[in-house]
Structure 1
Amino acid sequence: MPNPYVPRALMNHAIDAVRTGLDLYTWTEKQVVGALRTGLDALDPKDEPAPEEPDERPVASATPEPDTASLTEKMSTLLGRALDQNTRGSQVELYHHLLDQLVADEARILGALSDGSSSPLVNVYGWKQSRTPRRAVLENASLVGRTANVALPHMVPQYVSHLLSLGLVEVGPEDPALDTEYEVLLAESAVLAAIKSATRGPVPARIEKFTLSLSPLGTSLWQAAAEGAEHE
């Protein structure tokens, strides 16, 4: 046993212990590797079936056929509901369908026109090189956005176009009584930019003036909604 008071003896003892541990680790490693080799050599590749090569041919993806049964079911449901509905029920269903397609700003426009008033509307057209066909630079620009205090004023032409496509508003002829309102509308930045873009040298842009108002469908929808609010 090494003398604990002699540092060199302690160091030599520690080195001997490390060498013994390394020799034991090396022996164990050799045993494990040898066992693995023995196990691999025992496998005869001739007795094993050859691995199947993966089929690299692209598999054609089956395109799902349209579900015609669902179309038939939907149509049958609609026809069945139509048999059970009266005129009032059909109107309410139509109104719900129309309202589901509106955003808040579009509802504000309907509210601004619900008193039967009209709002000025202009279209700005330019000319192509042939000078015969007109091209629309800006359509359905209206002062109704200001009246309705919409959240997105630059979207008013798109709002009006959508409401026109739904049949909730309609365009009428120019109203001379709205001259001041037309001047205000033509002074808006979007309209001025459209006029500048549509002007070609000495050829000015063509400006068409109209009025925007609720259509009979839009009026009946607003009245039905107002009646429902009164009953709540």
Structure 2
Amino acid sequence: MLQLPPVQRADARFHQVEHDVLQTLKQRLEALETPGELAGPPENLHQLLDVSLEQSRDQAEDMLVRQLLAGLTADEVRILAALSDGSAFPMLALYSGGRFSRGQILFRHSNVGRAAGIQCTDMIGTYLQRLFSQGWVIATGFEEANRTDYELLEGDSGFRRAMSGLQTHWPKVKPHRETLRLGPMGQQMWALLSQPAEADLSGDEE
């Protein structure tokens, strides 16, 4: 299982594991030269159906891996790696509703980005929105052990600006303390991405 260590570990160890994570994913991507697939993006469903008639299980799996990787940015992979060992991170969610009805989620904020070493820390809300929409991550309830971390997040200048801007249109917006985790589907997809590429995937055994 590919993992990024917690932010508390030594920098040398962090960079070594970070290198291993990205190197393994790079090798997995380079192995996706599977014969029997389309030369380019499918133009219609008939092309995909034609491919499905000739694909092996390995080829079908590689097509899925290719699509999963195409839907992720490098920073998002770092976030997923930080969650991949079962780690959880405090998260704040802003809902449009009032006291008895939360309504739709307008914004999310977490310290997972800094812990994972992402480059665009100011884009953590966008990254979280994308990962939630793609089914990678889930939100669970408030964890008392992380109370201090929640308070630090609530005082973060970027989060305060986002909440202030949203309150212009939704006066009842207030933060709800939640916990960010890799969801069951995310665990399955991460395991698929991070498994070593088989030597025979490219059909070059002979």
User: Structure 1 length normalisation: TM-score?
Assistant: 0.56
Contact persistence 2:136–2:182 (CA under 8 A): yes
Contact persistence 1:123–1:140 (CA under 8 A): yes
Q: Does 1:80 align with 2:50?
A: yes
Alignment gaps of 5+ in structure 2: 1-41, 200-206
Change in 2 beyond 3 A, CA 1:98/1:137: closer
2: distance between equivalents of 1:191 and 1:73?
42
1: distance between equivalents of 2:54 and 2:140?
38
Change in 2 beyond 3 A, CA 1:93/1:127: closer
1: distance between equivalents of 2:115 and 2:134?
21
Q: Secondary structure at the match of 1:228?
A: coil
Q: Which residue identity lines up with residue 77 of structure 1 in the other structure? A: Q
Q: 1:117 aligns with which of 64, 73, 87?
A: 87
| Counterpart residue number, 2:108 | 140
Contact persistence 2:94–2:176 (CA under 8 A): yes
Change in 2 beyond 3 A, CA 1:207/1:77: same
Change in 2 beyond 3 A, CA 1:169/1:230: farther
2: distance between equivalents of 1:204 and 1:83?
54
> Where in structure 2 are the equivalents of 1:209-220 lying within 5 Å?
209-220=177-188
Aligned CA-pair RMSD:
3.3
2: distance between equivalents of 1:164 and 1:199?
23
| Counterpart residue number, 1:150 | 118
Q: 1:182 aligns with which of 144, 150, 163?
A: 150
After superposition, the C-alpha distances for 1:159-205 in whole angstroms (9 at most, x for unaligned) are 011111111112222222222221221121112224445668xx875
Q: Does 1:90 align with 2:90?
A: no
Contact persistence 1:124–1:206 (CA under 8 A): yes
2: distance between equivalents of 1:126 and 1:136?
5
Change in 2 beyond 3 A, CA 1:230/1:117: farther
> Where in structure 2 are the equivalents of 1:6-45 lying within 5 Å?
none
Contact persistence 2:96–2:106 (CA under 8 A): no
Change in 2 beyond 3 A, CA 1:199/1:102: closer
**Which structure is higher in helix share?**
1
Change in 2 beyond 3 A, CA 1:216/1:133: closer
Alignment gaps of 5+ in structure 1: 1-71
Contact persistence 1:122–1:208 (CA under 8 A): yes
2: distance between equivalents of 1:223 and 1:111?
11
Q: Does 1:222 align with 2:172?
A: no
2: distance between equivalents of 1:198 and 1:77?
45
Q: 1:99 aligns with which of 69, 74, 77?
A: 69
After superposition, the C-alpha distances for 1:64-101 in whole angstroms (9 at most, x for unaligned) are xxxxxxxx963222112222334443333212101112
- Greater RCO (CA < 8 Å, at least 6 residues apart): 2
Change in 2 beyond 3 A, CA 1:230/1:184: farther
Indicate the percent of aligned positions where both proteins have the same amino acid. Answer: 33
Q: Which residue identity lines up with residue 212 of structure 1 in the other structure? A: L
Q: Secondary structure at the match of 2:72?
A: coil
Contact persistence 2:95–2:173 (CA under 8 A): yes
Q: How many residues align?
A: 156
User: Structure 2 length normalisation: TM-score?
Assistant: 0.62
Q: 2:174 aligns with which of 157, 182, 206?
A: 206
Q: Which residue identity lines up with residue 191 of structure 2 in the other structure? A: Q
